[in-house]
């Protein structure tokens, strides 16, 4: 009986999220409105043909429709589901993100301090490990995206200072990453690194990583080595009290640094 309850509430929730009336949804599904109403109100059970039609219409697997209580999922989880990232459909190809929510089912921003970096590289997919991390909320960020904060060390990404906290947005589809985007990359070999990226996934199956500090040389990694990517959103640091630097500001700083470097090269060439 519990499974039927999930199905009824799930299809009603999905319909409302698509902003469809029962008439419109029933017409798209090729059934009478009264039939769909019966499914949503738990007075009728669908046959396999109806289940397949509803699964296709919402792009959600039958297993998810029946077994998962979607009302208990966060906005981020629902938006990922609606984009086609359904574990029952995509199987082992899906990168399933372990996450935590608050008492209102809002996604937390988990914090990965320096002392937890080694553990995160191996425990990033372990729900128990993720639940052990400190967490906070930033209400100004989008509810249908997932964020996590990582503390970085070193001077490879100056002007982002040593010890700063980088807030990153979880990227499910790595092919959407644009060149010159700053990202947190997690690999088993190197752990957590904060770098600028050039996306070579489609052409070579690789990512080129480089630092803002020219002392550090660029290098490439195979996409097969990557476990997670988080796109830079902002950072905060004790060295910048009260200041939150976002992506636009960082890009302006990067362009200014490049201009300064070009001027220095031209000056050196004349001497």
147-151 and 109-112 beta bridge pairing: parallel
CA dihedral 54, 59, 62, 64 (to 10 degrees): -130
State pTM to two decimals.
0.67
Q: Quick one: pLDDT at residue 190? A: 86
Tokens of 160: 């982002």
**Residue ranges covered by each domain of the chain:** 2-72, 109-266
- Of 100 and 262, the structure prediction assigns the larger pLDDT to 100
CATH of span 109-266: 2.10.109.10
How confident is the model over 9-19, as a mean pLDDT?
94
> Residue 229: which H helix or E strand, with range?
strand 226-236
pLDDT digits (tens, 9 = 90+) for 130-141: 999 999 998 889
Cβ contact 8:41 at 8 Å: yes
CATH of span 2-72: 1.10.260.40
Cis peptide before 159 (omega within 30 of 0): yes
pLDDT digits (tens, 9 = 90+) for 206-220: 999 999 888 899 999
Kindly indicate the confidence band of residue 148, based on its pLDDT and cuts at 50, 70 and 90. very high
In the chain, % of residues over pLDDT 90:
48
């Amino acid at each position: 009986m519990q499974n039927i309850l999930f199905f009824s509430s799930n299809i009603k929730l999905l319909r409302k999220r698509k902003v469809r009336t029962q008439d419109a949804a029933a017409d798209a599904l090729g059934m009478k409105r009264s039939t769909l109403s019966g499914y949503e109100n738990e007075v009728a059970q669908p046959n396999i043909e109806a289940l397949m039609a509803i699964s296709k219409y919402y792009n959600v697997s039958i297993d998810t429709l029946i077994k998962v209580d979607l009302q208990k999922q966060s906005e981020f989880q629902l938006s990922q589901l609606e984009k086609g990232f359904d574990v029952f459909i995509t199987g082992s190809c899906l990168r399933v993100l372990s996450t935590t929510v608050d008492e209102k089912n809002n996604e937390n921003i988990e914090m990965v301090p320096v002392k937890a970096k080694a553990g995160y590289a191996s425990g990033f997919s372990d729900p128990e490990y993720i639940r052990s991390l400190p967490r906070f909320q930033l209400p100004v960020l989008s509810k249908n995206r997932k964020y996590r904060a990582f503390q970085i060390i070193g001077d490879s990404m100056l002007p982002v200072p040593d010890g700063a906290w980088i807030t990153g947005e979880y990227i499910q589809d790595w092919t959407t990453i644009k060149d010159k985007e700053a990202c947190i990359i997690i690999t088993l070999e190197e752990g957590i690194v904060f770098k600028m990226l050039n996306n070579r996934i489609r052409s070579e199956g690789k990512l080129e990583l480089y630092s803002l500090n020219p002392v550090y040389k660029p290098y490439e990694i195979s996409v097969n080595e990557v476990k997670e990517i988080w796109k830079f959103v902002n950072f905060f640091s004790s060295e910048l009290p009260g200041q939150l630097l976002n992506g636009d500001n960082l890009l302006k700083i990067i362009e200014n640094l490049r201009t300064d470097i070009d001027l220095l090269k031209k000056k050196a060439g004349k001497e």
